[in-house]
Structures are given as structure tokens and as C-alpha cells.
Structure 1
Amino acid sequence: MKLLYFDCFSGISGDMTISSLLSHGIDVEKFKEELRGLSLEGYELVFGTAEKNGIAANTFKVVCDDNHHHHRTMKDIEDIINKSSLNEDVKSLSLKIFRNLADAESKIHGLPPDEVHFHEVGAVDSIIDIVGTAILINMISPDKIIFSSLPVGSGFVNSQHGLIPVPAPATAELLKDIPIYDNGIKAELVTPTGAAIARTIADEFGVLPEVEISSIGYGAGFKDFEIPNVLRTVIGTVDAKKIDILKVLETNIDDMSPEYYQYIFDELFKNGALDVYLTPIIMKKQRPANKLSVICTEEKSEILRKIIFKETSTFGIREYTVNRYPLQRDFKTVDTDIGRIRVKVGYMDGELIKSHPESDDVKAIAEKTGLSIQSVLKVLHDYGY
């Protein structure tokens, strides 16, 4: 599986995305040729390099004529893209990014999405950034795209409406349900365009999984910070059979009767939890407590969070992404002289390396035959398991 990973330790913008993705051996002339399909005028593409804290990175900038700055609506953007000679996949992805932007702006300004006037994002340079990103994603053609958590920065930034807080309101709207944090840099690290790109193209947000890296790209921003102002992208191969990317939900509980945990476990498993367990811990003021941990898929995390809040006394839940490396697993039914026993078997590189009988089957046969548990297990061992 071909993976594209966005390591956004210094945020993300449209031009940083373009310059970072171009670092992966992309034919710049072919990229420019694809962009000409937009039939936009009054701009020049400037490609360059920069060094940020000792890291050499590409730069990308769209220089526009003063008389080609427009305030466009979503309808204007759709007309430009639909009338272009871009391929259908690029058109579709470009429009998805713009529609996410329009939805965010409409909520901020209280207007229907089609009536929102794009200011900075409606200018030629932002259109090029978004469509150019769609072109490069189409050229790279990854099977999966993962983003790191996004540092948003802090402070204030100038806009058409005057000074606004960081992250900008539209950016904040776009970043709902996406993991963000403040890395201490007083600047706008995630632009509205960058947020729209991340929201649209990311399959998930999390850490870099086990991957065989084939290419690393760096795209520089134009400001200098105490950390390298670059966007790092990684292309590599992931063995999809070897890794599951899961969520862990955790909370510490010191004020709930333990007699209710069985019910909570049942509810969590019933609603898709892959595993649920308790860990004894000592909390502040030396109170004995339990850490409730739930392992689940991304799709099930929201409903399981709601169950934890509803059925326990907790006021907060931690959530993080983990990589699970499962053996290739299967179930076999073994016909023995004393009855059928289901066995879970595990393979590594095609070789059987472990097996484990289903405890319910072992107990049922022990009760039926009067044999001890150990005697039933010995019979199973004689059959090679």
C-alpha cells in the first residue's frame, strides 16, 4: 500500500503543500502544463529553494498581477474548474476542497455556502494552491493519506475584516474533530487553505505507521521561526496486512462502585469495542482507582466515548492513535474423541507459531465428560494443538 504522510510539525499552507509534494521527483514542467488547463491569466509561478534551520527545502509562490485579484463566490470557482481541461479526478478533488471552505465560511458569516464571497481564498494564488494540490495528489496517487496532528499557532493575523484571532474563524471551523495543539509559536501556522486541504484529503490523523520510506519532501514557508518552518511529506510502502491503526480511549475513575463495570464492559463490547480492560492505579491524594482503557477503530470511537461519559462518573477522556501488529489469524474446529473444540491459530510469514483453544468449548466438554480442564487440554495437545 502506497502511503503519503504529512508531518505538519510547523503547520500547513497551500504553498507549503505544493512545494513539499513537488520534492518527490515530480516533473515541474508537467505540473505547469496541468495547471494551464485552468485557463487563468495574470499570474506567474516562482519555484525556488530555501534553508530553514539547516534544512534545505523547496519554495513555491504564485505572483499575481494587481488587476487579477477578485472576490469570487463558490459558483465562480465551480465555473472556473468545471470549464477547465483538468481531468475529472482533479476537478472533483479541487471542488471538494473549495466546498469545505465554503461550508466553513458560511457558518462564520451566516450565509448559504453558494453566497459566500471568497476574499483571499478566491484570489488566483489560492486557486492555484488548491488545484495544484489536487493535481499533485493525482500524480502521486497514494492509496492512503495520513496527517500528523496540526499545530495552529497563536496570536492575531490581518484579514479583509481586520485583525482576527489565530486560528482564523474559518480555519477553526475546518479543524473541528481534527487533533490540533499549540506549539508555542505566535503566528498563523495553519491557513484556511491548509486546513481545507487537510480536512479534505486526509484519510486519518495520527502517527507515522511502520513504513518503508521511498521519498521525503520538504516545502518551506516564507517566515522564519525558532523551529524549521517546513512541511515534511513522506512517501512509502506499508504492508497493509501487518498493521491496524486503532484508537485507545482512556479515563481514570476513583469515585464509582466496581459493581457497575461488568455492565459498562458489556455495553462497550456490544457497540464495537475490540478490547476493554481495567488497570489499578493510585491517583492524587493517594486514592486507589482504575484506569479504564478501550481499544477500537476510528469509526467506533465517537459512540464509545459517549457510552463512557454516559455510564461512568468520569468528566474527561484521553484519546490517542496506536498501531496494532496482528498475526495472521484463523479459527479451526478440531474433532477430538471427547468432542469438538474451536482453536484460534496464529501464523507469521505463513508458519503456524501459536494456537489457543476457546475456553468456553473446553469448559463445556469438561462439564459434559467430567474430565478436568487439564485433561481436556491434554487431549487437544495430542491432536497437535
Structure 2
Amino acid sequence: MPTRRLVPDREASAVFAYFDCFSGLSGDMVLGALIDLGVPVGWLDDQLKSFSISGFALHTSPTFRHGIRAVKLDVEVHDGSSVRRFADIRALIDQSPMSPGVKASSLKIFDRIADAESVLHGCPKEQLHFHEIGSVDSLVDVVGTCLGLEYLGVQEISASRIPLGSGWVDCAHGRLPVPAPATLEILKGVPIYQTDIPYELTTPTGAAILVSLSDRFGPMPDMTVDKIGYGAGTRDLEAVPNLLRVALGRRSSPVQRIEDRVIVAECTIDDMNPELFGHLMERLFQDGALEVYWIPVFMKKNRPGTWVQVLCREDRREAVLECILTETTSIGVRYSEVRRWILPREPVIIETGFGSLLAKRIRALDGKWRVVPEYDACRKIAAERGIPLHIIYEAVLAAGRRLTDSDSVNP
């Protein structure tokens, strides 16, 4: 989610999108659904061409899949060039006139693709040459999706489990099994299921878009639906309607909270040099830990020890477990999946007498917002100006109170 700037002039409305992928998804299906939700094709075309993507034309048409009306998007490519390096794509996005949020989201998607391709081909990301994924239509799909989500004001995304087809698919590297290796690599850590439909239901581009932008995967949460958009795939499948459905609206509960699943990894240690715990914490955070705790405990034979507890995402579980077994004297580690509730939060820029400072804006259970200073940002200003850290904190809190009292935010 892009950083937002708090100002006291209008209230934000949290727009939520749920991607119902009952028939998989591809980049053109995502963009077609967003167009069906109200993103103007002419505006999208202008924005993409200002981004220096040329040699294409967007064509949309209403179509029907099993009697359901949808938007079919076709990207007509005039330029046959389709091979780009990851570094070229990153430079193209960095140098574009798009908003910071669109740039960050687009880069996140391509970075996910590059990570997968790097693993599969044993090549550093910067040296990768994208074929289908580096083509004009894939650039249009990825950047166009990020533009469309920003146009619709979407601030939170969740999605269903991702279905996969079966059989074989032909690509630049030859004939490959379905799901394509890149698709499966991108979907690591995401709930998927295979079907007996003999086609590629989920493409690498579609997978990367959703994995990069979705906060969670599972059933549709409680929400108030305002609009529904359907994006059509190319094939008219017999088994299911080849559609992506996107529901746009607001979370139903006036007290918003996010339900999440994380992995808890833990062990107890009574024979390790305490000087090593600082290094261990740094390594765990580098490997993707969300939280790391040291808890004093008494172990067998009444020995004082340390209970190491780590929270991480499913896709970082293996790295965290390996880190614990490598960097500690423990000979075992336990892990389990737990559910948690999270208060909605987002990064914001607060204007203070010391300049613009990064902070977090959090919505409490009573529906009120509060602003929490970011330690590193405040410490940097305190060190540069020789001011006590608590004074910087107080300035951020005071500015945050003035703005959140008006329940106002400018996206």
C-alpha cells in the first residue's frame, strides 16, 4: 500500500476488493474486470502511453461465458519486440511519470516474477531476459492493473484460493507442464488446488499480480459489495465459466479488523552464549520474521533459559526454521499455524515543525484513528539536529492528534 499524507480536508473511504478466482486468472482477465468496474479505457490508454509503452492498442468488447456478461480485453501489439531484461523493465518504471504507489506496486509484481525466473534458470535477477513476461502486453497488464486499482481507490485486496489447470502449455522455452514452473514458483506459500481442466487456468503474470498485491487468501470476508466486475479469459471452457470476478466495496463491520494466519516457530535454549542472541535476532528479521521475542524461562534441572519465539509468513517458514537451527545451539524447533486479528494500519507522512516524518496510522476497535511515530524516522531527525528523541515523538503525536481528530486523510 502506498504511503499517504494526512491533511485535514477530507475523509478517506477504505475501498476493498475481493478477487474470486474460481476459474484462475491472467493479466488480461484482471484488467478486464477492473475495466468492467469502471476504469475508462481511454484514460488507461493515455496513462500507459505516457509511461513510454508504445506499439499497442487496447480493445474491449462485451462477451458471455455460460450466460454471464463480462469484459474481454485484447492488447493488439504492433511492435514485435518481446524480450526485455529485468533491469530494463525496472528502469522503465522508475523513470515513468506515474505515482509512487503505481511504481511501487508494478515493481513489486515484476520483482516477484524475476525471483521465480531466477530460481528456475539459475541466473541473477539483473541478468534475466523476460520473453512472454517482458512483452508489451504483459507490461500493459501489470502496469494497467496498478493504474486501475489506484483509479478505483482500492486500498485493500484479498483473494480466493487459486485453481490450476492440467496438461501442457507451449512457451518460449518449449513445451512445459501445467501449472507452468514459473507459475508454481510464484504461488509458493499461497493456497492453491489443481483441477482436471486441460488448460492453463492461471498464468505467471496473473499469479504475480495477485500474490504481490493481495493481503490474504481465503473465503470472501464480511463486506458490503458496491460493484462487481467480470474479466473474461480467451477460451470458452465447458466445465466452468472462464471468468475472473472482482467484488468492490467496503468491509461490513464498522469496527474493521484483519484476520490473518501466521507461523509461530519456537524453541527453548539454555546453553548458548547470550552475546549471540543479538545476531540471531538480526538474522531472523533478514530471513522474513515479522516478530521475534526472547522470554526468560526455567528449564529442566531448574536451569535458566531463553524461550525463542518467532512469527513469520508461511512462505518464510523454511528460512526461519533453518536460521534457528543454524544460528543457535537448539537441536529442534517447533512450529504451528495460528490465526490473529490485526488492526488496519498504513504508512503516512506527518507534517511537523521538524519537517515531514514517516509514521503509522492505525484504526482502533472503536473506529477512531491514532498515529504512531516510526522510531527510525524520529531517531534520524533527533541525531541530525541534536534534539532529544522524546521531543520528536511528542511533535509527531501532537500533529497526528490534530489531524485524526478531524478523521481526515488525503490519499
**Structure 2: which amino acid aligns with 1:179?**
P
Larger Rg: 1
Displacement of 1:145 in angstroms is 0.5
Q: Classify 1:212/1:46 alpha carbon distance in 2 versus 1 (closer, same or farther; 3 Å).
A: same
The answer to whether the aligner puts 1:43 opposite 2:65 as a matched pair is no
1:219 maps to which residue?
Answer: 231
CA distance in 1, matches of 2:38, 2:82: 33
Q: What is the 5 A alignment of 1:1-385?
A: 1-65=14-78, 67-225=79-237, 226-238=239-251, 239=253, 241=255, 243-247=257-261
CA distance in 2, matches of 1:155, 1:15: 22
1:293 maps to which residue?
Answer: none
CA distance in 2, matches of 1:37, 1:18: 18
Displacement of 1:2 in angstroms is 2.3
**For 1:185, what is the secondary structure of its paired residue?**
coil
**For 1:48, what is the secondary structure of its paired residue?**
strand
Unmatched segments (≥5 aa) in structure 1:
250-270, 273-297, 325-346, 350-385
CA distance in 2, matches of 1:193, 1:300: 22
Displacement of 1:27 in angstroms is 2.4
**For 1:176, what is the secondary structure of its paired residue?**
coil
**Structure 2: which amino acid aligns with 1:33?**
D
Contact 1:213 1:234 in 2 (8 A): yes
CA distance in 1, matches of 2:63, 2:161: 25
Listed one character per residue, the Cα deviations across residues 178-234 of structure 1 (whole Å, up to 9, x for unaligned) are 000013211111101011101110111111111111010000001021200000001
CA distance in 2, matches of 1:231, 1:194: 11
Relative contact order (alpha carbons < 8 A, sep ≥ 6): 1 or 2 greater?
Answer: 2
**Structure 1: which amino acid aligns with 2:172?**
Q
Q: Classify 1:240/1:75 alpha carbon distance in 2 versus 1 (closer, same or farther; 3 Å).
A: farther
**For 1:194, what is the secondary structure of its paired residue?**
helix
Over the residues paired in the alignment, what is the CA RMSD in angstroms? 3.5
Displacement of 1:18 in angstroms is 0.2
Q: Classify 1:204/1:248 alpha carbon distance in 2 versus 1 (closer, same or farther; 3 Å).
A: closer
CA distance in 1, matches of 2:262, 2:115: 31
Displacement of 1:321 in angstroms is 7.8
Displacement of 1:248 in angstroms is 9.9
1:256 maps to which residue?
Answer: none
CA distance in 1, matches of 2:15, 2:254: 9
CA distance in 1, matches of 2:102, 2:256: 31
Q: Provide the TM-score with structure 2 as the length reference.
A: 0.61
Q: Count the aligned residue pairs.
A: 281
Deviating above 3 A after TM superposition, structure 1's stretches of 4 or more consecutive aligned residues are: 246-249, 298-303, 319-324
CA distance in 1, matches of 2:190, 2:249: 23
Q: Classify 1:27/1:227 alpha carbon distance in 2 versus 1 (closer, same or farther; 3 Å).
A: same
**For 1:163, what is the secondary structure of its paired residue?**
strand
CA distance in 2, matches of 1:348, 1:193: 39
CA distance in 2, matches of 1:348, 1:95: 36
**For 1:164, what is the secondary structure of its paired residue?**
strand
Displacement of 1:11 in angstroms is 0.4
Displacement of 1:114 in angstroms is 0.7
Displacement of 1:85 in angstroms is 2.2
**Structure 1: which amino acid aligns with 2:219?**
V
Identify which range, 124-133 or 85-94, moves more after superposition.
85-94
CA distance in 2, matches of 1:246, 1:113: 31
**Structure 2: which amino acid aligns with 1:245?**
E
CA distance in 1, matches of 2:52, 2:182: 28
**Structure 2: which amino acid aligns with 1:241?**
V
Unmatched segments (≥5 aa) in structure 2:
1-13, 264-291, 294-310, 322-331, 343-364, 368-411
Instruction: State the identity as a percent.
Output: 38
Displacement of 1:28 in angstroms is 2.4
Displacement of 1:244 in angstroms is 4.7
Identify which range, 239-248 or 73-82, moves more after superposition.
239-248
Q: Provide the TM-score with structure 1 as the length reference.
A: 0.65
Listed one character per residue, the Cα deviations across residues 144-165 of structure 1 (whole Å, up to 9, x for unaligned) are 1101100011111001111101
CA distance in 2, matches of 1:92, 1:348: 32
Listed one character per residue, the Cα deviations across residues 283-324 of structure 1 (whole Å, up to 9, x for unaligned) are xxxxxxxxxxxxxxx957787x98xxx789xxx98x798999
CA distance in 1, matches of 2:341, 2:37: 26
Q: Classify 1:27/1:156 alpha carbon distance in 2 versus 1 (closer, same or farther; 3 Å).
A: same
Contact 1:209 1:323 in 2 (8 A): no
1:383 maps to which residue?
Answer: none
**For 1:68, what is the secondary structure of its paired residue?**
coil
Listed one character per residue, the Cα deviations across residues 332-362 of structure 1 (whole Å, up to 9, x for unaligned) are xxxxxxxxxxxxxxx999xxxxxxxxxxxxx
Displacement of 1:41 in angstroms is 2.2
Listed one character per residue, the Cα deviations across residues 64-107 of structure 1 (whole Å, up to 9, x for unaligned) are 12x43231101111222223222222122111111111111011
